[in-house]
Amino acid sequence: MSDVVEKTLTALPSLLSLDSQPGSTKLSSTSKLGTLIRGITELTSKHEEEKLIQRELTSIKEQVSSPNTSMRQMKELMVRTIYCEMLGYEASFSYIHAIKLAQQGTALEKRVGYLAVSLFLNESHELLLLLVNTVLKDLQSTNLIEVCMALTVVSQMFPKDMIPAILPLVEEKLNHPKEIIRRKAVLALYKFYLIAPNQVQHIHNKFRKALCDKDPGVMTASLHIYLQMIQDNPEGYKDLTPSFVTILKQVVGGKLPMDFNYHSVPAPWLQIQLLRILSLLGKNDQSTSDIMYEVLDESLRRAEMNHNITYAILYECVRCIYTIHPKSELLEKAAKCIGSFVLSPKINLKYLGLKALTYVVQQDPKLALQHQMTIIECLDHPDLIIKRETLELLFRITNAQNVTVIVEKMLEFLRINKDEYTTIDLVGKVAELAEKYAPDNEWFIETMNTVFSVGGDMMQPDIPNCFLKLLSEGFDSVEEDRKLRLFAVDSYVSLLQGEAGKLPQRFLQVISWVLGEYSYLRKDLEAATVLRLLAKLLDMKNTSSETKSWILMAMTKLCEGRTGLSVVLGVSETYSSSLDTVLRQRAQELQHLSQDWELQARVLPRDAGHELLEVDSSLSFLDGFVSEALAAGAAPYKPQHQRQEELAQEKALSLEPYSLSLPIGMSSCSITDRQSPTLFSTSSGLSGDSTELSHKGGSTSLKLDGVKRVWGREGYLAQREPVDESAHVEVTSPLRSPNHQGEADSSHSQTPTPTPTPEPEQEKQQLASSLFVGLSSQSSVCLMGKSESTPRRFRRKAKGPGSSSAASEQKSNSLVSTPSTVDNLLCNNLLDSNINSELDVSSLKQTSQLAHGLTAANGNCDVELSDSDIKGSSPSLIGDNRVVAADPDSHEDPDEPKDLSLSSYLPAELSGLSHSEITPLCSKQSLDLSACHVHKDDFLVLVVFIYNSSDSDIQQIILELDSDELEVSCVCDSRVQEARSHSAAVCQYFLTVKRPSVHVEVVGIVSYQFPVGTPQSVQFSYKLPLTSFVRPLTLTTEEYGTMWLAFSHDTKQNLTLISDDLEPLAATLNMLEKKLQLHVVEVIGMEGIVACRLLQDQPCLMHCRLHAGTLAVWMRSPVPDLPDCLMYHCQRALQEH
């Protein structure tokens, strides 16, 4: 330890120049930082350290407050303060001095000041506003060091609202002659893209120029941006595939400088980035994958070195090979690579092999059979991480035949596991498998009991909620519903008669609800017995108030007649005086309903838990009271988000410039940040984006506008990163623990009995035969994420004609990059001069191919098939809102009938309306799916064409649609059951937006059967822009001003102005009105106001003003995310003009 300290002290002077003598190589004995560090290392207790640090901070506070402290001394004080903060001691008094040091010091002093600011403050800190002007000044400096420091701070932490102020300066640095400046500018733009992607939409071509930069460091920095953009929209960057492949060839071939090598491996992290990008581009695309095969083979061959970094490259190669369109030779090499990892004695390599096997087993289930004995050994591995990854692998290969064995292994691990995150994750997986593959009711209930007991109160609340919902809604069989509920009642009564005090609170809540709803199913069980059992739970000391509320509600349901009246009266008397208002209310309800049996039967009817209740969310029954109060002079109600916003504005710094004096007629109107644009402010500039006080992730259930979800059961919750949905299928559902699977599973064994072997080996082989049963043939396996060959046991009842059980991943298509010939001129001097011609030629080829590969923005379709490839060409390119008459022949496949005219199948009530181009979705055997959307004033209709090109009728057609962003409901009398030979069946669905997104997507699955053959299914998706749902909103100026004040969600941005007209504002607004179906309310001088609505009746208002040659746009709406989405489409429309 002493050696480390001495080396640190030796290196500090050269970094910070703290010694009085220039060129000194050791920390002087009089240096206060050196004295502090040595003093801390000599301490023997934490208490002594706290006392020493407090004395140090007191001394620093006195010195920084002294007017005689020089900048050199301030620099040394900041370094000591940084050290104290890094040890965990708060020194907020120094924050303002760190900002001053960054503003006023020399280059070295500014460096320490910027370093302190970046460590002390976060992006939302209020003091960060004081640094904006300093950053602007340093970005315009001729001193390269100052520019580098400013760009570094911008890329680490910078307020989102201030991005428009510095974005032009950062863009200029992309053309700087020094490569370090260009590299830091690219990283700054990457940061901007992460926190405000709509702010950098207009500079995508400059990203391409950075990709083709002659400096490898700049090119490497640009890959971060491209990886993020391609994840959002891979279709928009297919034309760059040859460029990425060429770069990877150059890297693997060692064409980069030696400085990029790590342990003789050329630029390993650059290779990993490129492999991830290629896997995204080549997924489900054979033509794009063909370009990658050669370089992937070369990467696999060259990465065969005995070093950890090469193993990382091999792992990414394997993932890429199994993600893109398959090629047999590469798959064999990748499988061999996985085998060498799994069989390795090194723990790190074994973990890497299991992780790779978990990823690829869905594409190649038989690969797990080759290593089944190794996987069995990993279940007993002493390393818990190896065990956990093995269970993840088993989760991916679970089917109806091996579910009991795999669930038992998971529950065994849960009983010994101490990690909270692992417990939460595994409990969710067990619950999902139980609902999906439960062999019988008893196994399901027992497994869920174990889940609730082991998971305790750490599990996600969705698990017990989904379990209760499943019991309440039931299945397709009434008898099965009764048996399942009766077994649950028997199980829970037995648990309460035992040691109920050891059960978790959430489990007690589940038990209370089930007994309150379904205990009557057991004829020999008296209600008084259940009431006494529940009353005992109330007397336990560890029962929480929430659980007591559940118990009291269950007792209220059970108090029929005079059953258990003494118990009920005792409980109600006890809790009628409780300090908890909820418990007091429940006790009063229990007391009154137990004495009025008829009222109890009406209020709490038996077995009515699944019935939907009509809720008057607008509280219309209070309208009369509100009108009287307002007439009497009461103040109008302000929503919570509006009160919070006004409170925040009172405390926050005002960034609006002072307005000029107003005419007398307008003097009565207060000019604040919430002023109505109809007053046409005369201020000189438009401020940055307003503070966002609402949670920007729309919810599909409860609307909490203006409320940040940062508090939970444990107190303040840190904001979590979105969970990667590709890691596991996120379906919150139930599971149970097997206790009698040995006999059942032995019958499913498909592994031949080997020659006599030792007893442990026989046990392992028997376990392997149980775990891997069903994987010998691909047709019999039912993996996570694949279509099921057998129906799941617990299939809930359909809720309506428009509901769907098909799950889909939400894909963001907020960024679209269209290729142009200018891209061919950008890719020069990439890494080596000898690749210029190659890039140019490949880019030209890709540009020509892209005309057939890009899909229309109003009809983009991603088709996902299980057994066959997609047929049909892509639709031709049309604008976001341009609607054309359908011309089926223009996009027919050569193999399809030439006389197919789907437009003739449009229903009569829709044939006269404008509709999008009829887009081919997918084909499977003789079934062809196409779709279009029809525009009406009040709604949007999705029309799906199911064409049967065979000589026999298709029967039992079931079409199910679902969407994360849309409400999908079937039009009456449009459901079809069959499709005649050489004819088309048509289905119609109403679409309304429930959560705005730049592009919305509908996913669907069609199940059908030919007269001779087995049932089949095909999956598809259909994308369309949000502007398809936009309609004009006709308002007066006065109505506009009233609505503007009531809306809370807004965004601001400067857009390109149409300057080739005498009246640029009018020309720009007219163009937006035509393309996006907006309504221009009024234009006065240099300002204009526009209104539109999103189906159904979701308004959005826009205020436009000419400012410095641009169009300053301010959008406001009551719907979260709607202003941002419409701002994006306005920007796209202006760019395409």
pLDDT at res. 1097: 80
Q: Give 906 or 151, the one with higher predicted confidence.
A: 151
- At 716, is the pLDDT very low, low, confident or very high (cuts 50, 70, 90)? very low
**pLDDT for residue 181:** 93
- The total number of residues written for the chain in this structure: 1137
Higher pLDDT residue, 1069 or 873? 1069
Residue by residue, DSSP assigns 208-272 as: HHHHT-SSHHHHHHHHHHHHHHHHH-GGGGGGGHHHHHHHHHHHHTT-S-GGGEETTEESHHHHH
Whether the Cβ atoms of residue 565 and residue 529 lie closer than 8 Å to each other: no
- Return the pLDDT at 512: 93
Start-to-end C-alpha separation, the chain: 66
The answer, yes or no, to whether residue 1124 has pLDDT greater than 90, is no
Does residue 345 surpass a pLDDT of 70?
A: yes
**Distance from CA of residue 967 to its chain's centroid?**
20
Amino acid at 155: S
Average pLDDT over residues 540-545: 90
Write the pLDDT tens digit of every residue in 177-226: 999 999 999 999 999 988 888 888 778 888 888 898 889 999 999 999 99
- Tell me which of 900 and 383 has the higher pLDDT: 383
Distance CA 518, CA 482 (A): 9
Gap between the Cα atoms of 674 and 195, Å rounded: 25
Using DSSP, state whether 1111 is helix, strand or coil: strand
Neighbour order of strands in the sheet with 919-924:
919-924, 927-935, 940-948, 983-993, 966-970
Looking at 87-140, list the stretches that DSSP marks H as alpha helix, in order from N- to C-terminal side. 95-104, 107-120, 132-139
pLDDT bucket at 502, cuts 50 / 70 / 90: confident
* Poorest-pLDDT segment among 205-219, 245-259, 745-759: 745-759
Q: Hey, what amino acid is at 6?
A: E
Please give the average per-residue pLDDT across 404-428, as a whole number: 89
Q: What is the pLDDT of residue 553?
A: 92
pLDDT on residue 562: 66
The whole-number average pLDDT for the span 264-286 is 92
Q: Is-contact 1091 1102, C-beta < 8 A?
A: yes
Answer yes or no: are the C-beta atoms of 16 and 79 closer than 8 Å. Answer: yes
Encoded tokens for 449: 């009991």
Region 917-922: mean pLDDT is 87
Pairing type for strands 999-1009 and 1016-1025 reads antiparallel
List the 999-1009 sheet strands across, edge first: 955-962, 999-1009, 1016-1025
CA 393, CA 945: separation in Å to the nearest integer?
A: 40
- The confidence score (pLDDT) of residue 766 equals 63
Whether 811 has a pLDDT exceeding 70, the answer reads no
pLDDT band (50, 70, 90) for residue 819: very low
Is 608 or 866 the better-scoring residue by pLDDT?
608
Residue 973: predicted pLDDT: 61
Identify the pLDDT of residue 709. 45
> How remote is the C-alpha of 1038 from its chain's centroid?
40
The three-class DSSP label of residue 1100 is strand
Contact by Cβ (8 Å): 560, 597: yes
pLDDT at residue number 17: 47
* Whole-number pLDDT of residue 736: 39
Report the pLDDT value the prediction gives residue 852, as an integer from 0 to 100.
37
pLDDT digits (tens, 9 = 90+) for 1014-1064: 788 888 889 888 889 999 999 898 899 888 888 878 888 888 888 776 788
Count of other CB atoms within 10 angstroms of residue 792: 15
Mean local confidence (pLDDT), 295-312: 84
Confidence (pLDDT) at 180: 92
